Amino acid sequence: MPRGAAVVYPKDAGQILAFADIFPGARVVEAGVGSGSLSSFLLRAIGDQGMLHSYERREDFADIARQNVERYFGGPHPAWQLTVGDLQDNLSDGDVDRVILDMLAPWECLEAVSKALVPGGILCCYVATTTQLARTVESIREIGCFNEPTSWETMIRNWHVEGLAVRPDHRMIGHTGFLLTARRLADGVEPPMRRRRPAKGAYGEDYTGPNADAGAAR
C-alpha cells in the first residue's frame, strides 16, 4: 500500500475489529486516517449498509488514503465519508456505535467522543508510546462516563517448519502500538469501582479520588 503515514498492520487491525466489535451496519467514527489501511478493514467489516466517517488533519494524508481505499474497493465506497480537519471541531453530537482513534493525542477528543457515542458504544484507541497510553487511560477515567479501560499490546512470532527443523523464526513483529478499549456508560451511571486500588503514592500521598479506598483485587 502506498503510504504517507504509517499503516495499521493486520495484527492490530484484526484486534480492533474484534475487541471494538465492528459489526455489519455499524456507525463508526475514525480519527487519524493515515494511509487508509484501517479504513479499508473497517469498511469491509461494516459493509455498504454501515457508516464510516473518517477525520484526517493533513490533506496530503487524506488524498493518499482516498486513493488507497478507492484502489482497494475498485472505486468510492458508499459507506465512507472523509473529512479533512480535527474530529473535536467537526464531530456533531449523535448516534455513533464505535469510535476508533489513531492519533497523537486521543485525550483531546474524549469530550466530543463521549457526546457522540451511544450508551454501550465502544471507544478504541491505538497509541504508539507508554506515555500516550498512560495519559489516555487516565483521561478516560477522569471524564467519568466510561467503564474501566482495558489496554494491551500484541507481538507475533512466526515459526520455521522444515523437516526436523522446527523452531521460532529469528525475526518477529514486536511492538507496533498499544490498544485500549472502553465502553460508554449511560448518562447518570457512575463507573464501576476498579477491582484494584491504585498503588500507594501513584497519584500522590494526598490522593482522595475514585478508588482511593477500594479493596485489593478479588
Give CA–CA dist 17/150, Å, rounded.
15
- Say if 136 falls within a structural domain: yes
pTM across the whole model: 0.85
Q: What is the pLDDT of residues 74-85, one digit of tens each?
A: 999 999 999 999
* 159 and 207 belong to one structural domain: no
Provide the number of structural domains found in the chain: 2
Give CA–CA dist 69/12, Å, rounded.
18
24-38, 42-56, 179-193, 198-212: range with lowest mean pLDDT: 198-212
Is beta strand 27-31 parallel, antiparallel or unpaired with respect to 51-56?
parallel
Three-state secondary-structure class, residue 156: strand
The separation between the first and the last C-alpha atoms of the chain, rounded to the nearest angstrom, is 47
Q: What is the pLDDT of residues 30-49, one digit of tens each?
A: 999 989 999 999 999 999 99
How far from the centroid of its chain's Cα atoms is residue 101's Cα? 5
* 213 and 145 belong to one structural domain: no
Its domain, for residue 210, covers 194-218
Indicate which CATH number applies to the domain containing 42: 3.40.50.150
* 215 and 161 belong to one structural domain: no
- Is 36 assigned a ligand-binding role in the annotation? yes
* 62 and 125 belong to one structural domain: yes
| Distance set, CA 163 to CA 157, 166, 200 (Å) | 19, 7, 54
- Is 38 assigned a ligand-binding role in the annotation? yes
- Say if 3 falls within a structural domain: no
- Is 138 assigned a ligand-binding role in the annotation? no
Give CA–CA dist 90/99, Å, rounded.
14
Q: How many CA atoms lie within 13 A of 201 on its CB side?
A: 0
Three-state secondary-structure class, residue 150: strand
- For residue 58, give the amino acid letter: R
Name 26's Cβ contacts closer than 8 Å, sequence gap at least 6: 45, 46, 50, 51, 97, 98
Q: What is the pLDDT of residues 79-124, one digit of tens each?
A: 999 999 999 888 887 799 999 999 999 999 999 999 999 999 999 9
Name 101's Cβ contacts closer than 8 Å, sequence gap at least 6: 30, 31, 32, 87, 109, 113, 123, 124, 125, 126
* 209 and 171 belong to one structural domain: no
Residue with cell 504508539: 128
Other CB atoms within a 10 A radius of the CB of residue 144 amount to: 12
How far from the centroid of its chain's Cα atoms is residue 164's Cα? 41
